[in-house]
Structure 1
Amino acid sequence: MAEQRTLILGGARSGKSIAAERLLAGEPEVLYVATGGDDSGNAEWASRIALHQARRPESWGLAETIDLVPLLDSPGPPLLIDCLTLWLSRTMDSLDVWADLSRAGLVEERIALLAEAWSRTSRLVVAVSNDIGSGVVPADAGTRLFRDLMGRLNTAISLRSDTVLWTVAGRTLPLT
């Protein structure tokens, strides 16, 4: 079983989601929180969703939302939030930040609210997030902003977590 608040970081296709599912495998009931939306019409995205769904026990529930604060603030079964990277992207979409980068402060406010809810939750919660800050500095301002906000989000959640894990090539290591 996981500590109360666990963050699992890693690169794309590193095994983060599988590690999160393993941490909660012994729980009779889990609410899987999918933050990516359905991206209607995208066959690749539909295939990825189908793979995730096939791995999950039938007893697990599903919530497709980026409205994470109410879930963290309410009692209920353990949460598996997959993933914070998509939460950030969709939050930026909802606030129209891509069209007006000066709106980034609104995203930072949402990050702060999420981090506070993460801190106070009484639920067992595991979140998955991509660590994208170790690569090349993006050429365009929007992608640089996303990378910077992703770093701030991961830091805010990490500092409020009981456990932080790093996943690479299917191996998961604790960060201390």
Structure 2
Amino acid sequence: MRIIAGKYAKRNLFTLKSNKTRPTSDKVKESLFNSLGQFFDGGITLDLYGGSGALAIEAVSRGFDHAVITDINYAAVQIIKKNVALTHEEEKFEVFKMSDKVALKFLHEHDYKFDMVFLDPPYAKQKITQIMTEIDKLNLLNSKAIFVCETDDDTQLADVKGFTLTKEHHLGKTIVRIYQKDN
């Protein structure tokens, strides 16, 4: 797995040798970022289920100013920190070992606001729509913020009040859905 484009392009990333994470493949990552416009002009991103940190690192590589990456798994957090170090711009990243609920509470208490949120939880069907609602309720989003939600092709997601599904990509057994916050 590697960074596809931007200032960190072609750097190989470490991944966790475990079945506890499912790294987003380079093919899915490339298609996803191509559909988002490839490059960005600033902003803050959150990857709530970081795994290797690849999505958030790719977003910063392509122009986001800052990324917050959380994961509940200790080994995953260590991999994320190693990958962030590969950028030589560690100040652009914050990495936390926290569960999703604890992280959201912490981020709310510290007045974080995000422009893009990556959601790829281990149990997507049960969590994604609940987490989207919780993030919105905690006022953690800037206007026009987007959610990038990755699931397997068997997972259906219900509509989420306050968000519009703007794109849906089927990439093999993976589906990436992009939602934008309604204003």
- Please indicate the TM-score interval, normalised by the length of the shorter structure: 0.3 to 0.5
Scaled by the length of structure 2, the TM-score of the pair is: 0.41
Larger RCO (CA within 8 A; separation ≥ 6): 1
Bigger proportion of residues as strand? 2
Bigger proportion of residues as helix? 1
Scaled by the length of structure 1, the TM-score of the pair is: 0.42
